[in-house]
Amino acid sequence: MGRPVLRTELCDLLGIEYPVILAGMGPVAGGLTGPVATAPLVAAVSNAGGLGVIGGAGFSAERLREEIRRVRSLTDRPFGVDLLLPSNYMGAAAGEMPRDPRELIPAGTREALKKIVEDLGVPWQEMPREPAAEPRRPRTGGMSDEQMEVVIEEKVPVFASGLGSPAPWLDRLKANGTKVLSLVGNVKNAKRVAAAGVDIVVAQGTEAGGHTGRIATMALVPQVVDAVAPTPVVAAGGIADGRGIVAALALGAIGVWCGTAFLVSEEANQPDLQKQRILAATDEDTRVTRLYSGKTMRNITNPLIEAWEAAGIPALPMGLQGLLIQDLVYSCRKAGREDLLMNAAGQVSGMLNRIRPAADILHDMVAQAAHILARDLPARVTAVPES
Ligand SMILES: Cc1cc2nc3c(=O)[nH]c(=O)nc-3n(C[C@H](O)[C@H](O)[C@H](O)COP(=O)(O)O)c2cc1C
């Protein structure tokens, strides 16, 4: 068989060969190894004809700049950067922050988590930290201002916002020719980012690994397509093979944004334990929890998530919950219980059973989709009704 051809408007918009985007995946396992989608994986996907996207959320601004340059040294093809732009970070505290922001963590929340962790046999230990020399001011635009400056200075081909809205940055991004994607989990937010002028809306269903909403991909994508037309839509959440690509196209999307499928690639930057847990997982082994970030996030479940959810403790705003979790990560590492750390992955984990090069994953997805579209589906149609 010849090389499969599968082209959509997305290929022309982004200058890529196949309508498949690697999700810009940030860190797992308490940042043990940094973001998952770093230069080797990003370049592998771009070189294979898709669009690789750096999971920039786990990088400092200067480290992000280095990673962008590393990608450029590994590929001359288009790539992207994904950042989280949450509107409620650290509870959006007004005025000065204490020198040790941990003072903002309510004692009740800390004590409740500590008890759950100790009941699981892990001694609670606070991570040793030097308080800041000066009281810190909360940043006006959120946690990502410095990273966004790097994205603009480096003139990256594609920018994706994973949480929140890129609206404040759009003029500067567009002046650079950067294409802007925005992830949403419901129609309301889709309309908001489309009205702001993003180039592509990524409609991400609840099946997805990582931060996720409540609406399933099958129901969400066509509603977003109708709500934001003529802005194009890419589908995400629960897509890991050619069948998923075809379904996404049938729902009106012009391409797919895939995370979990590439978590088990050779190039994915995450501890082997995390990959093995994904390979071992069934369709029922993920759970959405606010435990690790303060926002709803789908993970391979573990006894800590189950106990936290059963206790019904309200999570803190993103940032503050993250600070609390730093102590959890420290305690779990000291106790050798990395299995209790964040292991974001989607419901498609149940269909992944081996670790392979990212290029093979991508090419198999595309070949299967092309086969279904060209060979299997046309035979199902005997006559097309007049419309
Ligand atoms: C390990 C992991 C980390 C993620 N980190 C981010 C992130 O930093 N920014 C973001 O926009 N999305 C992130 N996501 C969500 C993905 O962008 C994507 O929407 C999701 O993986 C798609 O669903 P799928 O996992 O079923 O393919 C992450 C997902 C996973 C599995």
For residue range 7-55, list pLDDT tens digits in order: 999 999 999 999 999 999 998 887 778 999 999 999 999 999 999 999 9
Q: What is the pLDDT of residues 344-384, one digit of tens each?
A: 999 999 999 999 999 999 999 999 999 999 999 999 988 88
pLDDT at 62: 94
**Residue 319, in any domain of the structure:** no
Higher-pLDDT residue of 34, 387 = 34
Domain extent, residue 365, equals 9-87+139-270+354-380
Average pLDDT over residues 291-309: 96
**Residue 172, in any domain of the structure:** yes
pLDDT at 101: 79
- Asked if pLDDT for residue 161 goes beyond 60, the answer is yes
CA 298 from centre of chain: 10
Q: What is the pLDDT of residues 233-259, one digit of tens each?
A: 999 999 999 999 999 999 999 999 999
For residue 282, what are its two tokens? Answer: 């069934």
* Interatomic CA distance for residues 11 and 42, integer angstroms: 17
**Residue 371, in any domain of the structure:** yes
pLDDT at 139: 47
**Residue 217, in any domain of the structure:** yes
pLDDT at 1: 53
Q: How far is the CA of 122 from the centre of ligand 1 (A)?
A: 29
Pairing of strands 79-84, 158-163: parallel
Ligand 1 atom 21, closest CA: 259
* Interatomic CA distance for residues 155 and 140, integer angstroms: 23
pLDDT at 250: 98
CB 156 within 8 A of CB 81: yes
Q: How far is the CA of 384 from the centre of ligand 1 (A)?
A: 38
Q: Band of the pLDDT at 134, cuts 50, 70, 90?
A: low
pLDDT at 8: 98
* Interatomic CA distance for residues 66 and 268, integer angstroms: 18
Q: Band of the pLDDT at 330, cuts 50, 70, 90?
A: very high
pLDDT at 361: 98
- Between the two ends of the chain, the Cα-to-Cα distance in Å is 36
Q: Name every protein residue with a CB atom under 6 angstroms from any ligand 1 atom.
A: 23-26, 28, 36, 55, 57, 82, 84, 162, 183, 204, 207-210, 236-239, 257-261, 263, 344-346, 348
Average pLDDT over residues 218-237: 98
pLDDT at 345: 98
Per-residue HEC secondary structure of the chain comes to CCCCCCCCHHHHHHCCCCCEEECCCCECHHHCCCECCCHHHHHHHHHCCCEEEEEHHHCCHHHHHHHHHHHHHHCCCCEEEEEECCCCEHHHCCCCCCCCHHHHCCHHHHHHHHHHHHHCCCCCCCCCCCCCCCCCCCCCCCCCHHHHHHHHHCCCCEEEEEECCCHHHHHHHHHCCCEEEEEECCHHHHHHHHHHCCCEEEEECCCCCEECCCCCHHHHHHHHHHHHCCCCEEEECCCCCHHHHHHHHHCCCCCEEECHHHHCECCCCCCHHHHHHHHHCCCCCEEEECCCCCCCEEEECCHHHHHHHHHCCCCCCECHHHHHHHHHHHHHHHCCCHHHCCCECCHHHHHCCCCECHHHHHHHHHHHHHHHHHHHCHHHCCCCCCC
Assign residue 362 the CATH number of its domain.
3.20.20.70
- Asked if pLDDT for residue 68 goes beyond 80, the answer is yes
CB atoms within 10 A of CB 126: 12
Per-chain mean pLDDT for the chain: 92
Q: How far is the CA of 15 from the centre of ligand 1 (A)?
A: 23
* Interatomic CA distance for residues 252 and 235, integer angstroms: 9
Instruction: Ligand 1, residue 204: give the atom nearest the CA.
Output: 19
* Interatomic CA distance for residues 36 and 172, integer angstroms: 27
Strand partners, 183: 202
Q: How far is the CA of 240 from the centre of ligand 1 (A)?
A: 13
Residues 6+ apart with CB under 8 A from 16: 10, 46, 49, 50, 51, 77, 78
Instruction: Ligand 1, residue 257: give the atom nearest the CA.
Output: 22
**Residue 376, in any domain of the structure:** yes
pLDDT at 140: 41
Q: How far is the CA of 26 from the centre of ligand 1 (A)?
A: 7
Ligand 1 atom 6, closest CA: 25
Average pLDDT over residues 221-229: 98
pLDDT at 90: 60
Q: What is the pLDDT of residues 149-159, one digit of tens each?
A: 999 999 999 99
For residue 250, what are its two tokens? Answer: 């049938």
Give, in degrees to the nearest 5, the angle at Cα 36 between 79 and 352: 100
Strand partners, 233: 201
**Residue 124, in any domain of the structure:** no
Q: How far is the CA of 280 from the centre of ligand 1 (A)?
A: 19
Q: Say which range, 174-178, 286-290, 319-323, 335-339, has the weakest mean pLDDT.
A: 319-323
pLDDT at 141: 41
pLDDT at 319: 84
Average pLDDT over residues 134-157: 76
- For the chain, the domain total comes to 1
* Interatomic CA distance for residues 157 and 102, integer angstroms: 38
**Residue 313, in any domain of the structure:** no
Q: What is the model's pTM?
A: 0.94
Q: What is the pLDDT of residues 179-222, one digit of tens each?
A: 999 999 999 999 999 999 999 999 999 999 999 999 999 999 99
* Interatomic CA distance for residues 241 and 352, integer angstroms: 10
Q: How far is the CA of 383 from the centre of ligand 1 (A)?
A: 40
Residue among 25, 343, 365 to mutate when testing ligand 1 (max atoms within 8 A of CB): 25
Instruction: Ligand 1, residue 238: give the atom nearest the CA.
Output: 26
Q: What is the pLDDT of residues 77-132, one digit of tens each?
A: 999 999 998 775 665 554 566 777 788 899 999 999 999 999 999 999 998 887 66
**Residue 68, in any domain of the structure:** yes
Rg over CA atoms, the chain: 21
Residues 6+ apart with CB under 8 A from 333: 30, 32
